[in-house]
Every structure is written in C-alpha cells, then in structure tokens.
Amino acid sequence: MQGKKVLGRGLDALLGSKPQDAISRREVIYKPVEFIRPNSKQPRKFFDESSIEELAASIKEKGILQPILVRPDGEKFEIVFGERRFRAALKAGLKEVPVMIINMTEGEALETAIIENVHRKDLNPIEEAEAYKYIMEKFNLTQEELSRKIGKSRPAIANVIRLLKLPENIKEKLRTGEITEGHARALLMAGSDEEMQRLLNEILAGRLNVRDVEKKASPKRVRTGSHRPSYVSSLEENLQRYYRAKFSISIHKKKSGSITISFSSEEELTRLIDLLLR
C-alpha cells in the first residue's frame, strides 16, 4: 500500500463506512496497556483534562465502547486513532484495552490520524494548521493538491495555515480556546506584533468581539491634500473584513483611482486570487 493512496480516504476507506461494519469485519482483541503507546507525531497535542476525566468516569461505568485503532510497532502497538480513549482508560485504571490491529506504515498511520482528526473536528485551529503544513512538506503537496485529497477548499486551507504567522503566545491562546479563530484571523490584520498584543489584552478582558478587533486592526490611513470621500474608509474596512487582507483605496481628483491589496506570502496571494476569481 502506497502512502498517497491512504491520504484523503481516512478510516472509512480502511474499515468500512460505518463503525459497526468495521467491528464486524475485523477482530477486536484486548491488549495490556503497557503494550500500547501513543504516536509521538500525531497531530493532536492538546487534550482537555476535564473532558478526559469525564470519559474516564464513563469508561469505569460502561467500559470502552469503541476499540482503539493500532498498528504493529516492534513488540508493541502504536495508536493510529483513539489516543483520547487510551488516556481516559489509563485514568480509569484499566489494565487492558480493546484494540483493532491494522497493518500500516508510519507515514500511512500519520496521514490517517491527521485526516480523521480534521474531519471529526478534533483538532484546534493551530493543530490543524500544523497538520496541513506537515503533510504538504512531507509529501511535497501544493495547497491545491491537498485540497483535492481532503475535500477542503484551497482558500480554507490557506486561511488556516495563515494562523501560524501569529506570535507564539497568541497561538497558545487559540490552542486553549481563550480566543476564537475569528479573533485570531482579525488579529492578523494588525500592523505590528505590538498592536496584536494590545488587542489581545482587550479581547481577554472581554472588551472586544471579532468585529471590534477587525475595526481596530484595520490600518489607519491619513492622506493630506487629496480628495477622499468619507465612504472610502468604510469600503476599505468592508473589503478588508471580507478578504482578510489589507486594502488601500486612492481617489484622484477626476474621480478615477486605484485599489491596492497587500499580501505577505505566496500562499496568501493564491488565496486572494482564488477569492477574486470566484
């Protein structure tokens, strides 16, 4: 099995379209927890401890209802999908867990984990962005190729990847859910890291919603000696909010003018072109 054949198909292609189909066609066995290990390269890094505690309580009462997908790795087994269940099982004090064993290479296992987490919305936006970036670099894929393989639009992928440009402390706030993805996108409009940090403090204080951040992050342009109708600033803000990029409108004396769009990377340019040509 070649790595790229797995990419884009996920667990449905490997196990069947329904979980019960997978269980009926593949043997579920129990393995001691000491023989199971997480995949250190899996995309999901943040696990909500309160959620793990709740799942552990459920497992104590009802057991693990869905087996953990693993692959052989020497004398042990590496988790392909189900690390949250495994962590909860350890917390619940289980000595062995139900597993379903499938033969996959390390690359195939990682691809499957990334795709399944993305489609099940189990990743926070930063984990998702890092996963896209990793897949593209490891398998030499363009955003367009990745888009076709995972069923997401190229602008959507580009928008997520742009979040990696945020300063580390802001990315951490997004990972933990202290700010929303909408807030994070709006912060990218700010002209400097200092402005981002100032706006972040206001967001955390509960003073700014996403629209407020978009307005405050919009670059202030002052033009002296030129005819600039009052509606132009509003147009710039609307364009900036829709395209999530910096727009500058210049009006000349004879009512002609120009619109300038600023971008900071090839990926952002591609995203803007896709939107403009749509």
Instruction: Find all residues with CB under 8 Å of 241, minimum gap 6, and list them.
Output: 211, 214
Alpha carbons 144 and 239: distance in angstroms, whole number: 25
Phi, psi of 249, rounded to the nearest 5 degrees: -110, 125
Q: What share of the chain is helix, strand, coil (3-state, %, to 5)?
A: 55, 15, 30
Question: Domain check: are 114 and 9 in the same one?
Answer: yes
End-of-domain residue from the set 79, 100, 123 = 123
Tell me the CB-side half-sphere exposure of residue 14, using CA atoms within 13 A: 26
In a domain, 147, yes or no: no
The domain spanning residue 90 has which CATH number?
3.90.1530.30
In a domain, 141, yes or no: no
Domain that holds residue 243: 220-278
**Structural domain count of the chain:** 2
Rounded to an integer, the average pLDDT of 109-128 is 77
End-of-domain residue from the set 123, 149, 172 = 123
Top pLDDT among 244 and 68 is at: 68
Asked if 31 contacts 97 with a C-beta cutoff of 8 angstroms, the reply is yes
Phi, psi of 180, rounded to the nearest 5 degrees: -90, 165
In a domain, 225, yes or no: yes
- pTM for the full predicted model: 0.60
pLDDT band at 82 (very low <50, low <70, confident <90, very high): confident
Which DSSP symbol is given to 33? G
Residues catalogued as catalytic = 83
In a domain, 12, yes or no: yes
Predicted pLDDT of residue 268: 78
Asked if 69 contacts 99 with a C-beta cutoff of 8 angstroms, the reply is yes
Which DSSP symbol is given to 164? G
Residue 137 has pLDDT above 90, yes or no: no
